[in-house]
Amino acid sequence: MDTEILSSEPAVRVRNPAPKWLDERISLTGNLIHTLVSPNEEEFGSFGSSLSGIGDANGDGRSDVIVGAPYEEPRTSPNIFDGATGELLHTLVSPNEQEDGKFGCCVSGIGDVNGDGRGDVIVGADTEYPGSSPQYSGQAYVFDGASGKLLHVLASPNEGGGQFGRSVSGVEDANGDGWPDVIVGSPCESPGTSPKGAGRAYIFYLGPETISTMIESFYHLVLGREPEEGAVEAWEQGYFNYAVDFDIDVRFVPREMGRLFFLSDEYAARERTDARFITDCYWTFLSRYPQTQELDNWTSGEWNRAEAMTIFAESEEFAARVTKMYPDMAGNPTRNFVTTMYIGLLDRLVDQSGLEYASSVFDAAFAQGGLEGCRAQAKQMARDILVSEEFLSKNPTTEDYVIRFYRAFLGRFPSASEIIYWSAELDSGRRTTNDLIEIFADSPEFTGRLQEYFGNP
Protein backbone atom coordinates (compact mmCIF):
# COMPACT_ATOMS: atom_id res chain seq x y z
CA MET A 1 0.00 0.00 0.00
CA ASP A 2 2.81 2.35 0.85
CA THR A 3 4.34 1.42 -2.43
CA GLU A 4 1.31 2.70 -4.28
CA ILE A 5 1.58 6.07 -2.69
CA LEU A 6 5.29 6.25 -3.21
CA SER A 7 5.02 5.27 -6.81
CA SER A 8 2.55 8.10 -7.43
CA GLU A 9 5.10 10.68 -6.30
CA PRO A 10 6.87 12.65 -9.01
CA ALA A 11 10.34 11.44 -9.74
CA VAL A 12 11.85 14.81 -8.93
CA ARG A 13 10.47 16.78 -6.05
CA VAL A 14 10.12 20.46 -6.85
CA ARG A 15 10.32 22.62 -3.81
CA ASN A 16 8.88 26.13 -3.83
CA PRO A 17 11.32 28.69 -2.50
CA ALA A 18 10.51 29.31 1.14
CA PRO A 19 9.05 32.69 2.06
CA LYS A 20 11.64 34.94 3.58
CA TRP A 21 10.26 34.60 7.05
CA LEU A 22 10.86 30.89 6.90
CA ASP A 23 14.37 31.21 5.63
CA GLU A 24 16.63 30.07 8.42
CA ARG A 25 19.37 32.39 7.28
CA ILE A 26 17.27 35.38 8.36
CA SER A 27 17.06 35.86 12.08
CA LEU A 28 14.02 37.63 13.46
CA THR A 29 14.77 40.46 15.80
CA GLY A 30 12.85 42.97 17.84
CA ASN A 31 15.67 45.46 17.80
CA LEU A 32 14.82 48.79 19.32
CA ILE A 33 14.97 51.65 16.82
CA HIS A 34 13.95 54.67 18.90
CA THR A 35 12.94 55.49 22.42
CA LEU A 36 10.33 58.24 22.55
CA VAL A 37 10.00 60.56 25.51
CA SER A 38 7.31 63.08 26.36
CA PRO A 39 8.43 66.67 25.90
CA ASN A 40 6.42 67.44 29.06
CA GLU A 41 7.67 64.47 31.04
CA GLU A 42 6.34 64.33 34.56
CA GLU A 43 5.42 62.08 37.43
CA PHE A 44 2.62 59.68 36.49
CA GLY A 45 2.04 61.46 33.20
CA SER A 46 1.46 58.06 31.61
CA PHE A 47 3.12 58.89 28.35
CA GLY A 48 2.61 55.88 26.09
CA SER A 49 -0.67 54.75 27.58
CA SER A 50 -2.19 55.40 24.15
CA LEU A 51 -0.42 55.27 20.82
CA SER A 52 -0.79 54.45 17.18
CA GLY A 53 1.13 54.31 13.98
CA ILE A 54 -0.04 56.93 11.46
CA GLY A 55 0.42 57.57 7.78
CA ASP A 56 3.37 59.69 6.74
CA ALA A 57 2.73 63.07 8.39
CA ASN A 58 5.86 64.98 7.37
CA GLY A 59 6.24 63.82 3.79
CA ASP A 60 9.50 61.89 4.03
CA GLY A 61 7.76 58.75 2.80
CA ARG A 62 8.05 56.98 6.18
CA SER A 63 5.23 56.24 8.57
CA ASP A 64 5.02 58.31 11.72
CA VAL A 65 3.56 57.77 15.18
CA ILE A 66 1.34 59.46 17.75
CA VAL A 67 1.72 58.92 21.51
CA GLY A 68 -0.68 60.17 24.20
CA ALA A 69 0.03 61.09 27.81
CA PRO A 70 -3.47 61.53 29.23
CA TYR A 71 -2.43 62.13 32.85
CA GLU A 72 0.13 64.85 32.36
CA GLU A 73 -0.83 68.04 34.17
CA PRO A 74 -1.89 70.70 33.61
CA ARG A 75 -1.90 69.98 29.92
CA THR A 76 -2.25 66.58 28.30
CA SER A 77 -0.92 66.65 24.80
CA PRO A 78 -0.50 63.75 22.46
CA ASN A 79 2.61 64.15 20.36
CA ILE A 80 3.33 63.19 16.80
CA PHE A 81 6.84 61.84 16.26
CA ASP A 82 8.77 61.22 13.10
CA GLY A 83 8.86 57.46 12.70
CA ALA A 84 12.17 57.54 10.88
CA THR A 85 14.14 59.67 13.36
CA GLY A 86 12.05 59.69 16.53
CA GLU A 87 12.04 63.48 16.43
CA LEU A 88 9.02 65.35 17.81
CA LEU A 89 6.92 66.81 14.98
CA HIS A 90 3.81 68.23 16.68
CA THR A 91 2.25 68.59 20.06
CA LEU A 92 -1.52 68.55 19.73
CA VAL A 93 -3.66 70.77 21.92
CA SER A 94 -7.32 70.32 22.78
CA PRO A 95 -9.49 73.27 21.79
CA ASN A 96 -11.39 72.60 25.03
CA GLU A 97 -8.46 72.13 27.30
CA GLN A 98 -9.66 70.94 30.64
CA GLU A 99 -7.92 69.55 33.69
CA ASP A 100 -8.75 65.84 33.93
CA GLY A 101 -10.18 65.98 30.40
CA LYS A 102 -7.87 63.09 29.49
CA PHE A 103 -7.19 64.51 26.08
CA GLY A 104 -5.28 61.75 24.32
CA CYS A 105 -6.71 58.88 26.40
CA CYS A 106 -6.97 57.13 23.06
CA VAL A 107 -5.35 58.02 19.74
CA SER A 108 -5.31 56.53 16.27
CA GLY A 109 -3.90 57.14 12.83
CA ILE A 110 -6.72 57.50 10.30
CA GLY A 111 -5.34 57.84 6.81
CA ASP A 112 -5.61 61.11 4.92
CA VAL A 113 -8.91 62.91 5.55
CA ASN A 114 -8.12 66.31 4.03
CA GLY A 115 -6.56 65.25 0.77
CA ASP A 116 -3.03 66.60 1.29
CA GLY A 117 -1.58 63.10 0.98
CA ARG A 118 -0.37 63.08 4.60
CA GLY A 119 -1.63 60.89 7.39
CA ASP A 120 -4.04 62.41 9.91
CA VAL A 121 -5.03 61.44 13.46
CA ILE A 122 -8.00 61.17 15.81
CA VAL A 123 -7.65 61.92 19.50
CA GLY A 124 -10.20 61.05 22.21
CA ALA A 125 -10.74 63.03 25.40
CA ASP A 126 -13.23 60.89 27.24
CA THR A 127 -13.78 63.05 30.31
CA GLU A 128 -13.84 66.49 28.70
CA TYR A 129 -17.12 68.32 28.87
CA PRO A 130 -16.64 71.61 27.10
CA GLY A 131 -19.10 74.46 27.15
CA SER A 132 -22.51 73.37 28.26
CA SER A 133 -22.03 69.65 27.59
CA PRO A 134 -22.95 67.24 30.40
CA GLN A 135 -20.20 66.08 32.73
CA TYR A 136 -17.88 63.50 31.21
CA SER A 137 -19.58 63.60 27.85
CA GLY A 138 -16.23 63.29 26.15
CA GLN A 139 -15.16 64.57 22.77
CA ALA A 140 -12.99 63.37 19.94
CA TYR A 141 -10.88 65.52 17.65
CA VAL A 142 -9.41 64.97 14.24
CA PHE A 143 -6.12 66.70 13.53
CA ASP A 144 -4.17 67.33 10.38
CA GLY A 145 -1.06 65.19 10.68
CA ALA A 146 1.04 67.53 8.55
CA SER A 147 0.38 70.72 10.54
CA GLY A 148 -1.19 69.59 13.82
CA LYS A 149 -4.20 71.79 13.03
CA LEU A 150 -7.67 70.82 14.26
CA LEU A 151 -9.93 69.59 11.43
CA HIS A 152 -13.07 68.16 13.07
CA VAL A 153 -14.73 68.06 16.46
CA LEU A 154 -16.86 65.00 17.14
CA ALA A 155 -19.30 64.38 19.97
CA SER A 156 -21.94 61.84 20.82
CA PRO A 157 -25.38 62.51 19.38
CA ASN A 158 -26.74 61.34 22.74
CA GLU A 159 -26.64 63.30 25.94
CA GLY A 160 -25.14 62.22 29.21
CA GLY A 161 -21.73 61.31 30.51
CA GLY A 162 -21.02 58.58 28.01
CA GLN A 163 -17.25 59.15 27.93
CA PHE A 164 -17.32 59.45 24.19
CA GLY A 165 -13.78 59.18 22.84
CA ARG A 166 -12.60 56.52 25.31
CA SER A 167 -11.80 54.46 22.23
CA VAL A 168 -11.10 55.70 18.72
CA SER A 169 -9.96 54.10 15.52
CA GLY A 170 -9.56 54.93 11.87
CA VAL A 171 -11.67 53.00 9.37
CA GLU A 172 -10.22 52.71 5.91
CA ASP A 173 -13.43 53.68 4.12
CA ALA A 174 -16.77 52.63 5.53
CA ASN A 175 -19.10 54.36 3.09
CA GLY A 176 -17.14 53.80 -0.11
CA ASP A 177 -16.59 57.44 -1.01
CA GLY A 178 -12.84 57.05 -1.09
CA TRP A 179 -12.31 59.03 2.12
CA PRO A 180 -11.33 57.53 5.45
CA ASP A 181 -13.85 57.36 8.27
CA VAL A 182 -13.54 56.86 12.01
CA ILE A 183 -15.22 54.89 14.75
CA VAL A 184 -15.55 56.27 18.28
CA GLY A 185 -16.69 54.43 21.39
CA SER A 186 -18.85 55.95 24.08
CA PRO A 187 -18.86 53.08 26.57
CA CYS A 188 -20.78 54.65 29.46
CA GLU A 189 -23.77 55.81 27.46
CA SER A 190 -27.29 54.55 28.01
CA PRO A 191 -29.49 56.42 25.57
CA GLY A 192 -33.22 55.90 25.30
CA THR A 193 -34.33 52.65 26.86
CA SER A 194 -30.88 51.03 26.82
CA PRO A 195 -29.69 49.57 30.13
CA LYS A 196 -27.45 51.82 32.21
CA GLY A 197 -23.97 52.10 30.75
CA ALA A 198 -24.87 49.84 27.82
CA GLY A 199 -22.55 51.89 25.61
CA ARG A 200 -22.52 52.90 22.00
CA ALA A 201 -20.02 53.14 19.15
CA TYR A 202 -20.40 55.58 16.28
CA ILE A 203 -18.96 55.64 12.79
CA PHE A 204 -18.36 59.12 11.39
CA TYR A 205 -17.80 60.12 7.83
CA LEU A 206 -14.86 62.47 7.59
CA GLY A 207 -14.33 63.52 3.99
CA PRO A 208 -15.39 66.86 2.57
CA GLU A 209 -18.99 67.61 3.42
CA THR A 210 -21.51 66.88 0.70
CA ILE A 211 -25.20 67.59 0.58
CA SER A 212 -26.05 63.96 1.23
CA THR A 213 -23.80 63.75 4.31
CA MET A 214 -25.35 66.95 5.62
CA ILE A 215 -28.87 65.59 5.07
CA GLU A 216 -27.88 62.38 6.84
CA SER A 217 -26.52 64.36 9.76
CA PHE A 218 -29.91 66.08 10.16
CA TYR A 219 -31.52 62.67 10.63
CA HIS A 220 -28.95 61.58 13.18
CA LEU A 221 -28.74 64.80 15.14
CA VAL A 222 -32.38 65.91 15.13
CA LEU A 223 -34.34 62.69 14.92
CA GLY A 224 -31.73 60.36 16.39
CA ARG A 225 -32.10 57.74 13.72
CA GLU A 226 -31.01 56.59 10.28
CA PRO A 227 -32.86 58.12 7.32
CA GLU A 228 -35.50 55.98 5.64
CA GLU A 229 -34.56 54.31 2.40
CA GLY A 230 -34.47 56.91 -0.37
CA ALA A 231 -35.03 59.86 1.97
CA VAL A 232 -31.60 61.38 1.49
CA GLU A 233 -31.91 61.12 -2.30
CA ALA A 234 -35.39 62.65 -2.16
CA TRP A 235 -34.11 65.68 -0.25
CA GLU A 236 -31.16 66.03 -2.54
CA GLN A 237 -33.08 65.68 -5.80
CA GLY A 238 -36.38 67.24 -4.86
CA TYR A 239 -35.07 70.16 -2.87
CA PHE A 240 -31.39 70.99 -3.28
CA ASN A 241 -31.19 70.22 -6.98
CA TYR A 242 -34.54 71.89 -7.44
CA ALA A 243 -33.18 75.09 -5.92
CA VAL A 244 -30.11 74.95 -8.16
CA ASP A 245 -32.12 74.21 -11.30
CA PHE A 246 -34.62 77.00 -10.72
CA ASP A 247 -32.18 79.62 -9.55
CA ILE A 248 -33.45 80.15 -6.04
CA ASP A 249 -31.21 80.53 -3.01
CA VAL A 250 -30.12 77.03 -2.06
CA ARG A 251 -30.10 78.01 1.62
CA PHE A 252 -33.90 77.91 1.63
CA VAL A 253 -33.63 74.16 1.66
CA PRO A 254 -31.70 73.55 4.87
CA ARG A 255 -33.89 76.18 6.52
CA GLU A 256 -36.95 74.22 5.47
CA MET A 257 -35.27 71.00 6.55
CA GLY A 258 -34.53 72.48 9.93
CA ARG A 259 -38.13 73.54 10.29
CA LEU A 260 -39.57 70.21 9.16
CA PHE A 261 -37.21 68.24 11.39
CA PHE A 262 -37.18 70.37 14.53
CA LEU A 263 -40.89 71.19 14.47
CA SER A 264 -41.93 67.62 13.64
CA ASP A 265 -44.01 65.36 15.86
CA GLU A 266 -41.13 62.93 15.81
CA TYR A 267 -38.79 65.48 17.36
CA ALA A 268 -41.46 66.49 19.88
CA ALA A 269 -41.76 62.83 20.88
CA ARG A 270 -38.10 62.88 21.91
CA GLU A 271 -39.13 65.27 24.69
CA ARG A 272 -35.94 67.30 24.58
CA THR A 273 -35.55 69.96 27.22
CA ASP A 274 -35.08 73.53 25.98
CA ALA A 275 -31.38 73.31 26.77
CA ARG A 276 -31.03 70.09 24.85
CA PHE A 277 -33.04 71.56 21.97
CA ILE A 278 -30.56 74.45 21.74
CA THR A 279 -27.65 72.01 21.93
CA ASP A 280 -29.25 70.01 19.12
CA CYS A 281 -29.47 73.22 17.05
CA TYR A 282 -25.80 73.95 17.69
CA TRP A 283 -24.73 70.51 16.56
CA THR A 284 -27.08 70.32 13.60
CA PHE A 285 -26.28 73.72 12.15
CA LEU A 286 -22.90 74.65 13.60
CA SER A 287 -21.30 71.27 14.46
CA ARG A 288 -20.32 72.21 18.00
CA TYR A 289 -21.47 72.50 21.61
CA PRO A 290 -22.69 75.91 22.75
CA GLN A 291 -20.57 77.73 25.28
CA THR A 292 -22.25 77.94 28.68
CA GLN A 293 -22.95 81.65 28.18
CA GLU A 294 -24.46 80.99 24.75
CA LEU A 295 -26.72 78.33 26.15
CA ASP A 296 -27.81 80.62 28.99
CA ASN A 297 -28.69 83.35 26.49
CA TRP A 298 -30.74 80.98 24.41
CA THR A 299 -32.63 79.47 27.29
CA SER A 300 -33.41 82.77 28.98
CA GLY A 301 -36.98 82.45 27.72
CA GLU A 302 -36.88 85.07 25.02
CA TRP A 303 -37.24 82.69 22.07
CA ASN A 304 -39.65 80.00 21.05
CA ARG A 305 -38.30 76.97 19.22
CA ALA A 306 -39.44 77.99 15.76
CA GLU A 307 -37.74 81.36 16.09
CA ALA A 308 -34.55 79.92 17.55
CA MET A 309 -34.29 77.26 14.86
CA THR A 310 -34.74 79.89 12.12
CA ILE A 311 -31.99 82.04 13.58
CA PHE A 312 -29.59 79.09 13.52
CA ALA A 313 -30.62 78.18 9.98
CA GLU A 314 -30.10 81.75 8.81
CA SER A 315 -26.85 82.35 10.67
CA GLU A 316 -23.72 83.30 8.78
CA GLU A 317 -21.86 80.44 10.42
CA PHE A 318 -24.29 77.96 8.87
CA ALA A 319 -24.51 79.82 5.55
CA ALA A 320 -20.74 79.51 5.22
CA ARG A 321 -21.10 75.74 5.54
CA VAL A 322 -23.75 75.51 2.80
CA THR A 323 -21.98 77.99 0.53
CA LYS A 324 -18.90 75.77 0.59
CA MET A 325 -20.96 73.09 -1.15
CA TYR A 326 -22.84 75.49 -3.43
CA PRO A 327 -20.65 78.48 -4.18
CA ASP A 328 -22.44 81.28 -6.05
CA MET A 329 -25.84 79.81 -5.38
CA ALA A 330 -27.51 82.89 -3.94
CA GLY A 331 -30.26 82.62 -6.56
CA ASN A 332 -32.26 85.24 -8.40
CA PRO A 333 -33.62 87.90 -5.99
CA THR A 334 -37.16 87.97 -7.42
CA ARG A 335 -37.35 84.19 -7.33
CA ASN A 336 -36.08 84.24 -3.76
CA PHE A 337 -38.77 86.72 -2.83
CA VAL A 338 -41.51 84.63 -4.43
CA THR A 339 -40.14 81.55 -2.66
CA THR A 340 -40.30 83.29 0.71
CA MET A 341 -43.92 84.26 0.10
CA TYR A 342 -44.83 80.71 -0.90
CA ILE A 343 -42.98 79.07 1.97
CA GLY A 344 -44.66 81.49 4.34
CA LEU A 345 -48.20 81.22 3.04
CA LEU A 346 -48.31 77.62 1.84
CA ASP A 347 -45.52 75.92 3.78
CA ARG A 348 -43.84 74.60 0.67
CA LEU A 349 -41.44 75.42 -2.09
CA VAL A 350 -43.15 76.89 -5.12
CA ASP A 351 -43.55 74.64 -8.17
CA GLN A 352 -41.73 75.55 -11.35
CA SER A 353 -44.63 77.09 -13.30
CA GLY A 354 -45.83 79.02 -10.25
CA LEU A 355 -42.31 80.28 -9.67
CA GLU A 356 -41.86 81.45 -13.22
CA TYR A 357 -45.27 83.05 -13.42
CA ALA A 358 -45.10 84.85 -10.07
CA SER A 359 -41.54 86.04 -10.72
CA SER A 360 -42.52 87.59 -14.03
CA VAL A 361 -45.49 89.29 -12.36
CA PHE A 362 -43.27 90.79 -9.64
CA ASP A 363 -40.60 91.85 -12.11
CA ALA A 364 -43.26 93.62 -14.17
CA ALA A 365 -44.72 95.22 -11.04
CA PHE A 366 -41.30 96.52 -10.08
CA ALA A 367 -40.62 97.84 -13.58
CA GLN A 368 -43.89 99.75 -13.54
CA GLY A 369 -44.29 100.79 -9.95
CA GLY A 370 -41.00 100.19 -8.13
CA LEU A 371 -41.22 98.95 -4.56
CA GLU A 372 -44.80 100.16 -4.22
CA GLY A 373 -45.73 98.09 -7.25
CA CYS A 374 -44.20 95.04 -5.59
CA ARG A 375 -45.94 95.81 -2.31
CA ALA A 376 -49.34 95.97 -4.03
CA GLN A 377 -48.55 92.73 -5.84
CA ALA A 378 -47.54 91.01 -2.60
CA LYS A 379 -50.85 91.99 -1.02
CA GLN A 380 -52.69 90.61 -4.03
CA MET A 381 -50.73 87.37 -3.91
CA ALA A 382 -51.54 86.90 -0.21
CA ARG A 383 -55.24 87.62 -0.78
CA ASP A 384 -55.34 85.12 -3.67
CA ILE A 385 -53.59 82.40 -1.69
CA LEU A 386 -55.79 82.93 1.37
CA VAL A 387 -58.90 81.98 -0.61
CA SER A 388 -57.21 79.15 -2.52
CA GLU A 389 -58.35 75.58 -2.06
CA GLU A 390 -54.86 74.51 -1.01
CA PHE A 391 -54.70 77.07 1.77
CA LEU A 392 -58.20 76.46 3.06
CA SER A 393 -57.83 72.68 2.93
CA LYS A 394 -55.33 72.96 5.80
CA ASN A 395 -58.06 74.36 8.06
CA PRO A 396 -55.85 77.15 9.34
CA THR A 397 -56.37 78.33 12.90
CA THR A 398 -56.08 81.99 13.87
CA GLU A 399 -52.55 81.31 15.04
CA ASP A 400 -51.72 79.70 11.69
CA TYR A 401 -52.76 82.89 9.91
CA VAL A 402 -50.52 84.98 12.12
CA ILE A 403 -47.53 82.67 11.69
CA ARG A 404 -48.03 82.59 7.93
CA PHE A 405 -48.13 86.37 7.64
CA TYR A 406 -44.95 86.66 9.66
CA ARG A 407 -43.15 84.09 7.58
CA ALA A 408 -44.40 85.39 4.21
CA PHE A 409 -43.98 89.12 4.75
CA LEU A 410 -41.25 89.26 7.35
CA GLY A 411 -39.41 86.03 6.61
CA ARG A 412 -39.38 84.96 10.26
CA PHE A 413 -41.42 83.21 12.90
CA PRO A 414 -43.29 85.40 15.38
CA SER A 415 -42.41 85.46 19.06
CA ALA A 416 -44.93 84.10 21.57
CA SER A 417 -46.16 87.58 22.45
CA GLU A 418 -46.56 88.51 18.78
CA ILE A 419 -48.67 85.42 18.19
CA ILE A 420 -50.84 86.20 21.21
CA TYR A 421 -51.32 89.83 20.23
CA TRP A 422 -52.32 89.30 16.61
CA SER A 423 -54.39 86.19 17.31
CA ALA A 424 -56.40 88.22 19.81
CA GLU A 425 -56.92 90.94 17.22
CA LEU A 426 -58.36 88.36 14.81
CA ASP A 427 -60.34 86.37 17.37
CA SER A 428 -61.98 89.46 18.80
CA GLY A 429 -63.02 90.60 15.33
CA ARG A 430 -61.19 93.90 15.78
CA ARG A 431 -59.26 93.06 12.65
CA THR A 432 -59.76 90.76 9.66
CA THR A 433 -57.14 88.72 7.84
CA ASN A 434 -57.31 91.28 5.04
CA ASP A 435 -56.48 94.01 7.58
CA LEU A 436 -53.45 91.98 8.65
CA ILE A 437 -52.29 91.64 5.05
CA GLU A 438 -52.39 95.44 4.77
CA ILE A 439 -50.64 95.98 8.10
CA PHE A 440 -47.87 93.46 7.45
CA ALA A 441 -47.33 94.56 3.84
CA ASP A 442 -47.19 98.24 4.89
CA SER A 443 -44.79 97.65 7.79
CA PRO A 444 -41.26 99.10 7.70
CA GLU A 445 -39.93 95.56 8.26
CA PHE A 446 -41.52 94.44 4.99
CA THR A 447 -40.24 97.57 3.21
CA GLY A 448 -36.76 96.57 4.34
CA ARG A 449 -37.25 93.14 2.83
CA LEU A 450 -38.52 94.59 -0.45
CA GLN A 451 -35.40 96.75 -0.62
CA GLU A 452 -33.29 93.73 0.11
CA TYR A 453 -34.79 91.76 -2.81
CA PHE A 454 -35.54 94.46 -5.36
CA GLY A 455 -33.14 97.22 -4.40
CA ASN A 456 -34.13 100.86 -4.43
CA PRO A 457 -35.68 102.11 -7.66
The answer for residues whose C-beta is within 8 angstroms of residue 60's C-beta and 6 or more apart is: 82, 84
Residue 208 per-residue DSSP state? S
Stretch that binds Ca ion, among 87-95, 166-174, 362-370, 433-441 (CB under 5 A): 166-174
C-beta closer to Ca ion: residue 116 or 384? 116
Stretch that binds Ca ion, among 172-180, 219-227, 254-262, 348-356 (CB under 5 A): 172-180
The answer to whether the beta carbons of residues 232 and 217 sit under 8 Å apart is: no
C-beta closer to Ca ion: residue 215 or 408? 215
> CB of residue 180 vs Ca ion: minimum separation in angstroms?
6
Binding mask 395-414 for Ca ion (x = CB under 5 A): --------------------
> CB of residue 423 vs Ca ion: minimum separation in angstroms?
50
Identified binder of Ca ion from the candidate list 173, 307, 356, 400, rule CB under 5 A? 173
Identified binder of Ca ion from the candidate list 72, 128, 181, 216, rule CB under 5 A? 181
Within 82-137, strands assigned E span: 88-91, 103-109, 121-125
Q: How far apart are CA 4 and CA 6, in angstroms?
A: 5
By CB under 5 A, the count of residues binding Ca ion is 15
> CB of residue 448 vs Ca ion: minimum separation in angstroms?
44
Say which amino acid occupies 348. R
> CB of residue 400 vs Ca ion: minimum separation in angstroms?
43
Binding mask 70-109 for Ca ion (x = CB under 5 A): ----------------------------------------
> CB of residue 185 vs Ca ion: minimum separation in angstroms?
19
The answer to whether the beta carbons of residues 381 and 341 sit under 8 Å apart is: yes
C-beta closer to Ca ion: residue 162 or 180? 180
Identified binder of Ca ion from the candidate list 103, 179, 235, 342, rule CB under 5 A? 179
Identified binder of Ca ion from the candidate list 64, 216, 256, 363, rule CB under 5 A? 64
> CB of residue 142 vs Ca ion: minimum separation in angstroms?
10
**Which residues, 104 to 143, sit near Ca ion by CB under 5 A?**
112, 114, 116, 118, 120
Q: Does 216 bind Ca ion (CB under 5 A)?
A: no
Identified binder of Ca ion from the candidate list 56, 72, 159, 189, rule CB under 5 A? 56
Q: Does 175 bind Ca ion (CB under 5 A)?
A: yes
> CB of residue 277 vs Ca ion: minimum separation in angstroms?
30
Number of H helices, E strands in the chain: 17, 11
> CB of residue 76 vs Ca ion: minimum separation in angstroms?
23
C-beta closer to Ca ion: residue 30 or 176? 176
422: helix, strand or coil: helix
- Phi and psi at residue 298, in whole multiples of 5°? -70, -30
**What is the β-pairing status of strands 181-186 and 200-205?**
antiparallel
Binding mask 16-45 for Ca ion (x = CB under 5 A): ------------------------------
C-beta closer to Ca ion: residue 115 or 455? 115
> CB of residue 66 vs Ca ion: minimum separation in angstroms?
12
> CB of residue 154 vs Ca ion: minimum separation in angstroms?
14
Q: How far apart are CA 79 and CA 65, in angstroms?
A: 8
C-beta closer to Ca ion: residue 107 or 253? 107
Q: Does 280 bind Ca ion (CB under 5 A)?
A: no
Angle at 134 between CA 133 and CA 139, to 5 degrees: 60
> CB of residue 84 vs Ca ion: minimum separation in angstroms?
6
- Where on the chain is the footprint of Ca ion (CB under 5 A)? 56, 58, 60, 62, 64, 112, 114, 116, 118, 120, 173, 175, 177, 179, 181
